Structure 1
Amino acid sequence: MVDYSKWNHIEVSDDEDDTHPNIDTPSLFRWRHQARVDRMDKQETERATMDAKLAKNREQMQKLDKEMASAGDGKKKELKAKKVALKKEKESLEGEDSKLKKDERLTPWNVDTLSQPGFEKSVINKTPEPAPQPESEDAWVDGYSNFVKKNMKEMKQFAMFSRHEDSERFLKDHNYLVCDHGANFLSIWCVDLCVEEKRSLMERVSRQVIVLQYILQLAKSLNADPRGCTGPFYSKFKVADKEYQAAYEDEVRSFIERVEGRAQARLEAAVKEHEEEERQKRLGPGGLDPVDVFETLPAVLQKCFEEKDIAGLQVAMSSLPKEEAAHHLKRCIDSGMWVPGGGDAAEGGEEEEETYDEVGPAEGDENQDGASAAAAVSDGNEGGAAAAEAAGNSEEGTSAAAEAAGNSEEAAATAATEASS
């Protein structure tokens, strides 16, 4: 039979639903709870005091026994009397302790004494570490430059490996290469190789770029140091299924396409830059490009400039209306195709200030307007012929710019070839 008598006497301050109408129930519950808490505090104080007295009595008895063992006959009598007094005190304390234990046993159970915790667990929430601040652009550039200066040879040597076993062994021996700077350096080198039309070498380096990117991505997902993720990556890569291998190959193809697009953009930018430099060199005193001006001239004037025919140029200008002839003449002067008074300046050795007189049309002469422009032309020189030749050969700048865009580094290519062997 199970004895349930221990549950007959339980003190719970809020277990009574029916109270006198004149009594405030919440207040009554609070008073009862406070009275129970006070009684428990008093019992705990009495228990602590009793335990302290008993411990002190035991300590005095042990000390007295040691003194009696080493004391003489005369002193033993005095010590024995003290021992008797301590025994009487002990008996008195034990009686009080028994009474206190009985009171504790008869104290009604309450919500604090009904049960004891079986186990305790404390969880301290750690303050998350602040996210690393993004590196400034200047600091990143300095770090990248230092990395390239120190590790260019090792990076190019790693890029030449085609077997994963060799790459894994090399990266484990040079784990400091597994970083963002290493992947960025190889990516830029791929663009340089594509510009230099070294496609096979660019494809080999591209595979190593993707390997580094995969290792960095694995380290980021594991929140680990990339230098320690080389082994886990290659272990997974060696036993990877067909889908993983296909994803790797697809990533390599996508990267090569991006490299080719970047190389094409670099070539186009270099060509445009070269053409702009050549154009700036050709600009005349008025800020016009002689090639552009030559293309806007009438065919008869273009032919005269190409053949360096001054007389024909006079006749052609005389045949044009005044406004049109003046317009073309001014554009030729501003572009440097024609220098007014160029012949006289060359003979006299001095430059004279240009003067322009407006000549009105004479009565009965329909070609007088064109003659005025032709007269101005007759004082010029042969600068237009040079502009015509520049217009005919303007396409040569494009091929020169394409050659300049390669940014080829003969030393880098040599080092890469040595590493592959």
Structure 2
Amino acid sequence: RLDYSKWDHIEISDDEDETHPNIDTPSLFRWRHQARVDRMEEQRREREELEKKKQDHKKKVNEVQQKLKSQNLSEAEASKVTATKEQLAKQEEEFRRKEQELTKKEKEQPWNIDTICKDGFSKSAINKKPKDDDKNKTEEEIFEEQKKFQEDHKKQLQHFGMLSKAADSKKYLQDNPHLINEKTANYLVIWCIDLQVEEKTSLMEQVAHQTIVLQFILQLALKLDTDPRNCFNAFFTRFEAANADYMESFNDELNSFKKRVKERADIRIQEAMKRYEEEERQKMGPGGLHPGDVMESLPQALRDCFEKQDIPMLQKVVAEMDPEEAKYHIKRCVDSGLWVPNANAEVYEEVDSSEPQSSEPLISEAPEPQSKKDGTE
């Protein structure tokens, strides 16, 4: 049998009361309601105060137990701590009795309009098809919106991209319906290409699967002319049914997408290589040599001169080297655009005077930096 006893004590609605014609009925109803609210608030405060005292009591009990475990207590201190423990035990009993009284009072309190029902949900939401405002936005505005969306939901986007089971994907989209949109699809596509560029093909294929899942949901919403959040359940129902024709269509689209991702990744890699080669060419010196390669090939003594940009040290090292070897290395330094100080024929006076001197100096005249000409730093 059903127990209807809980309905025995209900305060009837104010509009069911009959009052004397001379009584201001609205004022009476307001007074009754306020009195009822005040009683409920008082009970709530009593409950909160009791819970707070119980928490404080629990902390004290833990402190006493720690002290009793200590081996450094004197006999007097141990006796005092023991007495405190007994007092706390009595307080705990008092708290237990008080809690039983409050619980009994709450159970015996008649139900009323403020307690008989509560909201199951804080709000009701109906998904409407979003307006297509992107047509009126500039490319820069669309880019900024996409960027902000990715920054705000990056962890959720990547979590969805890593899911492998249809049930998990369905549950995650149900919990995070704000991800069911074109911005999420855009992020997943870009992420797939990034992963392929990094040669993480297995992970790319996993994210690609989730990308096509979302694309199918968006396509279904487009056909039904509705918000995608209204039809993701319909997609997963068809997907989990594993109809042969439907799965064949899904897999064909998935394979085609993975192929396009790999092609796009290859193009990006080639473009990156071209940019790198161009940057390297721009780093070449006037003679077509790379300064880094030339620096690596210099004898250590010459390398130290160029690293320190020390003219006297360079003069000394050149004077001590074989003239042909010195000329070879200095010419390579000039052709690569490495630092070459101002010099004159005196730099080479000590280079094997038995060899005929070339009319071209080993170290070409280089103009002084502008900062040294005008005295500025």
For Structure 1 versus Structure 2, the TM-score category normalised by the shorter chain is 0.3 to 0.5
TM-score, scaled to structure 2? 0.45
Higher relative contact order structure (alpha carbons within 8 Å, sequence separation ≥ 6)? 1
TM-score (norm 1): 0.41
